[in-house]
């Protein structure tokens, strides 16, 4: 997992081509979306910023940029999930463990509005990702479509260098993806966990707020996220124990190196 630098939204400046650092993050996430059990994760992670013309690593993720104009960007989108040991999860006890997963696919980012100061920007992000288990023989587990509205505010509240990001939007998944997380085969059914076959469709809503600041040699950031599964296609799965939950994270990084080459960048 990478820790990616966050800089003022859409603000042109003279910046190094690349920056490197090392950091740590503390995360609190449910075992899976809909689980009523939360795990805390503390992870060491590298801090990477790269502002190349094609390859970029920044606040929007690690991606190859295939089309980049003033208002449209086509790039790659990435997602992931933690492994779950079913013996430690009440809803899944006795079922196969959930392997860690990675999601990869294209994304189209459309800029809908930006302020004259370029410190505020509203974007519509349209990522489509295919999911795979992370193991010796990866298994395809289906696809997700996650359209999101993303409002970036630089120097929020008049505080220089502090940046706020607000994200909201639904997610949709195919039957195979939902089956991976929410189906119960007859072999693992119990009186309190009946057999269940998940359907394709609506996957729930996500709301996220994130803040960050870059200091001369340090970066700090944090986020709070709320997901609701009310109305989801798999809402009635016996593995869904809660229809709304919070997740949060904090991170800090020390930046120890940057390139001598400077570029006119708009992060």
Instruction: Look up the CATH number of domain 3-266.
Output: 2.40.230
Domain extent listing, the chain: 3-266
> What gap in Å lies between CA 165 and CA 212, rounded to an integer?
9
pLDDT for 20-62, tens place per residue?
999 999 999 999 999 999 999 999 999 988 776 655 555 555 5
Give bridge partners of residue 185 from the DSSP assignment: none
Q: Closest Cα partner for 62 from 81, 40, 84, 46? A: 46
CA 47 to chain centre: 16
The pLDDT score that the predictor gives to residue 64 is 55
Cα–Cα nearest to 255, from 9, 62, 23, 52: 23
CB atoms < 10 A from the CB of 196, how many? 19
Phi, psi for residue 143 in degrees, rounded to 5: -130, 160
pLDDT score, position 30: 97
Percent of the chain's residues with pLDDT above 70: 87
Contact 100, 133 (CB under 8 A): yes
| Residues 233, 200 contacting (CB under 8 angstroms) | yes
Task: Calculate mean pLDDT across residues 83-97.
Answer: 98
Contacts for 84 with CB less than 8 Å, ≥ 6 apart: 31, 32, 92, 97, 98
Listed residue (72, 96, 244) closest to 181, CA to CA: 96
Residue 56's Cβ-count burial label (10 Å; 0-12, 13-18, 19+) is buried
d(CA 230, CA 6): 32
CA 11: distance to chain centroid?
Answer: 23
pLDDT tens digits along 190-227: 999 999 999 999 999 999 999 999 999 999 999 999 99
């Amino acid at each position: 997992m990478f820790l990616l630098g966050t800089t003022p939204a859409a603000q042109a400046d003279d910046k190094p081509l690349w920056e490197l650092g090392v950091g740590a993050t503390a995360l609190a996430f449910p075992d899976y979306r809909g689980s009523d059990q939360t795990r805390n994760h503390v992870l060491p992670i590298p801090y990477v910023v790269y502002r190349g013309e094609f390859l970029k690593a920044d606040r929007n993720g690690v991606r190859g940029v295939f089309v980049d104009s003033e208002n449209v960007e086509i790039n790659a989108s990435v997602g992931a999930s933690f492994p779950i040991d079913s013996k430690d999860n009440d809803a899944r006890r006795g079922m196969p463990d959930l392997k860690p997963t990675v999601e990869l696919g294209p994304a189209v980012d459309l800029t809908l509005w930006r302020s004259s100061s370029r410190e505020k920007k509203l974007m519509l992000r349209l990522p489509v990702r295919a999911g795979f288990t992370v193991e010796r023989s990866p298994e395809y587990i289906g696809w997700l479509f996650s359209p999101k509205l993303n409002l970036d505010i630089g120097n929020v509240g008049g505080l220089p260098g502090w940046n706020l990001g607000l994200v909201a939007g639904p997610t949709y998944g195919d039957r195979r993806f939902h089956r991976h997380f929410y189906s119960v085969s007859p072999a693992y059914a119990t009186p309190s966990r009946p057999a269940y076959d998940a359907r394709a469709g609506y996957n729930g809503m996500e709301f996220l707020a994130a803040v960050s600041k870059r200091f001369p040699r340090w970066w700090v950031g944090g986020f709070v996220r709320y997901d609701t599964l009310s109305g989801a296609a798999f809402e009635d799965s016996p593995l869904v124990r809660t229809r709304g939950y919070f997740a949060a994270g904090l991170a800090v990084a020390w930046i120890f190196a940057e390139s001598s080459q400077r570029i006119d960048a708009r992060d």
